[in-house]
Amino acid sequence: MGTKIDAVGTSRPHLRIGGMGAIKLADEAAHACLERAGRSAAELDFLINAGVYRDNNIGEPAVASMIQEDIGANPDPPLQGGHGTFSFDVVNGACGVLTGMHILDGFLMSGAIDLGIVVTADADPERGSNWDFPFGLVGAAGRVSRSHSRFPFAPVGGAVLLSRSEDEDKGFSRFAFSTYSEFKHLLEAEMRWQKGPIPRAVADRVPGLEPGSNVLRIQEREGYAARAAECAATSARAFLESAGLEPLDIDLLVPSPTPAGFPDAFSQALGVPADRVARVDESFGGVHTAGPIAALEGVMRTGQFGDARNVLFATVASGITVGLALYHP
């Protein structure tokens, strides 16, 4: 008995003017995933959002609860006999989707739930417009919460639907996470107050405010991809050894597509042939937390995923954090 992947879905902006916020992207990815699996949102017991960069950098509520409402996953109190849906956010950089799947695997294996979904999306926080909050000042709050320069990640949403397999040889067999904090400076994202002029719309309405705004800064430093590959290879060797496998036993490698160059550097360092690496279609651009889902979608479409015996998920994130999972389709 293991946790199996029923379907995945991705989404990208289709609004040319203004773009799309992360919440809307996550909503659409979840819809696509559920439709592909032939399941309804009402069947979901658990929803985890793993996106980092969200509409206007919302801290509360959990973005997952808004996605749950948007897609209609038991937004109202459960009726007698039903148990509703539980949702919250995981924040673990580009390893967040794998962390979400690790948590869902647990609740599936415990028997507490039958169906769960991990959704994610990152988009320039300034783009978020899917609010529907009943607060007048919120729009202004969002507009002056700025990104310091071009947002570095492509706006992409992803969703992966998980359930329990009755076949004990199928599904996830193990997860592992490790961190290398000596390299934590190589990818950092922060938001802090930066002094500057107050937008007139705000100054007119609320005089005497502190001049400035909260600004998001994301900085990837030189050498991140190479270090990430080294750390991931070190962790993966130990992981495979503990599973009694050699790198060549891996039929399919699903790596984080970013940082740029990571999939090739990692697969070479580990010794997995390049033709066994799941790659993300270039049209996606530099996808962040949805990366493994975008990679998975491609190999599910070609049949490479279904034909594999041993699939290794390998994600890397700021920290440096390495997430690994072994899956048997």
Partner 1 sequence: MILEAGVGALADGSPAIPTRLESIGSKIPERILTTEELMESTRHHPHIELERLTGIHQRHVCSEGEDSFTLAVGAARDCLAHSRHRPEDIEMLINCSISRYKDGLRHQWEPPLSLGIKDAIGANKAISFDISNACAGMMTGVFILHDFIRRGVIRRGMAVSGEYISSLGQNAAKQVHWVLSNQLASLTLGDAGTAAIVERADSDTDHISVAAFATLSEHSRLCLGAPSHVGPGASMFTKARTIHKVAISESPPLLKEALDAAGLGFGDIDYVIPHQTSARAIERGAKEIGERLGMQAKRVVVTVNEFGNTSSTTHFVALRKYLGEKRFKKGDTIMLISFASGLEVGVLIFPIEEILDRYGNEN
Query: Interface residues for partner 1 in 158-177 (CB under 8 A)?
Result: 164, 177
Structure tokens at 61: 């509520």
Q: Which is nearer to partner 1, 38 or 77 (CB)?
A: 77
With binding defined as CB under 8 A, does residue 121 bind partner 1?
A: no
Smallest CA-to-CA distance from 140 within 192, 209, 52 is with: 209
Among 59, 196, 261, 306, binds partner 1 (CB under 8 A): 59
Q: Which is nearer to partner 1, 231 or 308 (CB)?
A: 231
Build a one-symbol-per-residue string for 76-115: x at contacts with partner 1 by CB under 8 A, - elsewhere: xxx----xxxxxxxxxxx-xx--x---x--xxxxxxxx--
Contacts of 263 (CB under 8 A, 6+ apart): 253, 255, 256, 257, 277, 279
DSSP label at residue 257: -
Give the strands of the sheet with 2-11, arranged side by side. Answer: 2-11, 156-165, 115-122, 46-49
Instruction: State in angstroms the smallest separation of the CB of 204 from partner 1.
Output: 13
What are the φ and ψ backbone dihedral angles of 109, each rounded to 5 degrees?
Answer: -70, -25
Q: At 34, which helix (H) or strand (E)?
A: helix 22-37
With binding defined as CB under 8 A, does residue 310 bind partner 1?
A: no
With binding defined as CB under 8 A, does residue 68 bind partner 1?
A: yes
With binding defined as CB under 8 A, does residue 75 bind partner 1?
A: yes
Structure tokens at 123: 């988009």
State which of positions 129-148 bind partner 1 (CB under 8 A): 131-135, 137-138, 140-145
Instruction: State in angstroms the smallest separation of the CB of 288 from partner 1.
Output: 10
With binding defined as CB under 8 A, does residue 150 bind partner 1?
A: no
Structure tokens at 182: 């000596």
Q: Which is nearer to partner 1, 59 or 306 (CB)?
A: 59
With binding defined as CB under 8 A, does residue 58 bind partner 1?
A: yes
Among 231, 321, 324, 325, binds partner 1 (CB under 8 A): 321
181-204: b (≥16 Cβ within 10 Å) or e: eebeebbeeebeeeeeebeeebee
d(CA 179, CA 125): 27
State which of positions 196-215 bind partner 1 (CB under 8 A): 199, 202, 206, 208-210, 212-214
Instruction: State in angstroms the smallest separation of the CB of 80 from partner 1.
Output: 8
Q: Which is nearer to partner 1, 85 or 129 (CB)?
A: 85
Contact 253, 267 (CB under 8 A): yes
d(CA 275, CA 108): 33
Instruction: State in angstroms the smallest separation of the CB of 189 from partner 1.
Output: 4
With binding defined as CB under 8 A, does residue 184 bind partner 1?
A: yes
Among 18, 61, 273, 306, binds partner 1 (CB under 8 A): 61
d(CA 96, CA 90): 6
With binding defined as CB under 8 A, does residue 226 bind partner 1?
A: no
State which of positions 16-55 bind partner 1 (CB under 8 A): 45-47, 52-53
Structure tokens at 308: 């594999």
With binding defined as CB under 8 A, does residue 292 bind partner 1?
A: no
